[in-house]
Structure 1
Amino acid sequence: MADAADFYTGIVAESYAPLKSFSPEPDPYAAFVRETGGPALELGCGDGDPLLALRRQGLDVEGVDSSADMLERCRARAAEEGLPVTVHHQRMERLSLGRRYRAVFLAGPTFNLLPDDDTALAALRRVREHLADGGTALVPIHIPASTPADQLGVARTATAADGAQLRFSMVAEERDEAARTQTAVLRYERHQGDDSTVVDRAWALHWYLRSDFEKLAAAAGLVPVSVTDADGRAADDDTDYLVFRLQADPHGTS
């Protein structure tokens, strides 16, 4: 499973690019990197959004992702533009790059893809180890909403470059409030003439209340310097989309 929220990596990632549902705006992340200074690292960079946009602006940013296929797409996109880019094939919770960064960030709530609190804590510890002195991590998280019943099975469609008809739908969803998990079954279809391929894929999210995440960060040796909502305003305790800015706790250990 890729770190990035890649709703288009069904049967063939290249073919499903028209069904991509989320491309983060690069400006907030460019501003963050300029504020903190480089080098910077994007966790869960996927196929290069917004990493490549930041590289176009001359920012010193590298990327890391757990999906080799997505990183290959990222490299190919960069090569088409003659854009130098450095990306690493690793998982967040096992991150070991041998250098430190002034900025470490996730472009969107990719952190929710980590399956449980233990994995999340391991990832935060690796973030702490990769922060330079005075460096800052930017970690958005959210509490996903349940999908309305009348939206289950409703397909999005697109046409691939080779003329194949692509369909994407969510066919089932289960939510466990106690475990703080929500698992959807996503269906990818590719139809061309008499050829049809259908692939179902589980898509699991694990969420955190603000207090839960703050405890994990503290255990990893990180302290929040700000917590805002999606619009950059100070977040309330019941806000369902939180953006944490974290720095190393000078009195703690990782």
Structure 2
Amino acid sequence: MDTYEVKTYTSGMSWTGLAATIWDPSGGDSEQPDQAYIQNLLTANPGPALDVGCGTGRLLLRYLAAGFDVDGIDTSADMLRICQEKAAAQGLKPVLLQQAMQELDLARQYRVIYVPCGTFCLIIDRDDAQEALRRMYTHLLPGGLLVFNLFWPYKESEPLSAEEQVEGGVWHPMWTNTLPDGREVVQSFKRLRVDRIEQVMNAHRRYQLVQAGQIVHEEIFASDERWYYKHEVVLMLEKAGFSRVQVTADWTDQPAVEPPPDSIVFMAHRD
């Protein structure tokens, strides 16, 4: 029987290793609706901006290339390394720092802070979530704004099926992507626990590196998420000091109404 190394990562390291390597090849660097929406905000609110959860630079590098002044933070050293390599290849020199948003401590304030990709949902502890909003508020210039989206937990918040309740859970294939060297990475996902009272889902993501048809390496990541509801977030923002909170759907100016959109976008101001 063939053997191979299996690495496991805690929730705080959920976007490192193979997860970071495969991010761009799996579409993580593709253009998405938030790009134009946020760029319009940067144009209308000139000044420095902060990309929270910048990852491999999907938005940050495009905005820098367009002439905007944007810094980036992320918790993943691997993603920041990839972002820096891509920036160097484009002749860009971004300011990139490894920080969690609830530990935000930077040298300057910003006109716009944006948090794309539902990244706020990755903060599991409620006190940490409130602290993240407070710190982002203090890092905004007077008149500045914060914008972020939260994904609506369709299937994720459903109770575990009978199949999923077996010991250890059940892996569900998501996609297969090819690396530049020809090897493949197969990604799978399984839910382990759903607590709809506490609004938390515990899950695992698995990345299997395949070479010549054989699995040669595997990495498993704890992938926990907390979901938040509209009025809950508005109250959290107001507690952090924000005002004039606007709630829209899917990076548009349309209201977030039934049927639920894929994501809800919050924009809040520091007056």
Class of the TM-score when normalised by the shorter of the 2 chains:
0.7 to 0.9
Aligned to 2:216: 196
Choose 80-89 or 235-244, whichever is displaced more. 235-244
Paired residues in the alignment total: 247
2:150 partner amino acid: I
Identical amino acids, percent of aligned pairs: 30
Distance change >3 Å, CA 2–CA 182, structure 1 → 2: closer
94, 97, 102: which one aligns with 2:106: 97
**Corresponding position: 1:37 with 2:49:** no
45, 48, 57: which one aligns with 1:48: 57
215, 237, 246: which one aligns with 1:217: 237
**What root-mean-square deviation, in Å, do the aligned CA atoms of Structure 1 and Structure 2 show?**
2.7
170, 185, 194: which one aligns with 2:204: 185
Q: How far apart, CA to CA, are the structure 2 residues paired with 1:139 and 1:16? A: 20
**Corresponding position: 1:244 with 2:253:** no
Q: Secondary structure at the match of 2:237?
A: helix
Q: How far apart, CA to CA, are the structure 2 residues paired with 1:3 and 1:72? A: 17
1:243 partner amino acid: V
Cα deviation, residue 83, structure 1 = 1.4
Cα deviation, residue 69, structure 1 = 1.2
Aligned to 1:18: 25
Q: Secondary structure at the match of 1:74?
A: helix
194, 198, 202: which one aligns with 1:175: 194
Judge conservation of contact 2:19–2:207 (CA < 8 Å) in 1: no
Aligned to 1:154: 173
Q: How far apart, CA to CA, are the structure 1 residues paired with 2:192 and 2:247? A: 30
Judge conservation of contact 1:191–1:197 (CA < 8 Å) in 2: yes
List per-residue Cα deviations over 1:55-74 (Å, max 9, x = no partner).
Answer: 11101111111111111111
Q: How far apart, CA to CA, are the structure 2 residues paired with 1:57 and 1:142? A: 28
Judge conservation of contact 1:167–1:190 (CA < 8 Å) in 2: yes
Q: How far apart, CA to CA, are the structure 2 residues paired with 1:57 and 1:3? A: 32
Judge conservation of contact 1:2–1:67 (CA < 8 Å) in 2: no
Distance change >3 Å, CA 5–CA 142, structure 1 → 2: farther
Q: How far apart, CA to CA, are the structure 1 residues paired with 2:173 and 2:230? A: 33
Gaps spanning 5+ residues in structure 1: where? none
Q: How far apart, CA to CA, are the structure 1 residues paired with 2:39 and 2:125? A: 30
List per-residue Cα deviations over 1:106-154 (Å, max 9, x = no partner).
Answer: 1231111111321110000001100101011112112222259799522
Q: How far apart, CA to CA, are the structure 2 residues paired with 1:223 and 1:159? A: 46
TM-score in terms of structure 2 length: 0.82
133, 136, 139: which one aligns with 1:127: 136
Distance change >3 Å, CA 136–CA 2, structure 1 → 2: farther
Aligned to 2:246: 226
Deviating beyond 6 angstroms after TM superposition, the runs of 4 or more aligned structure 1 residues are: 1-5, 148-151
Give the number of the structure with larger relative contact order, counting CA–CA contacts within 8 Å between residues 6 or more apart: 2
1:232 partner amino acid: D
Aligned to 2:117: 108
1:141 partner amino acid: L
Q: How far apart, CA to CA, are the structure 1 residues paired with 2:203 and 2:63? A: 32
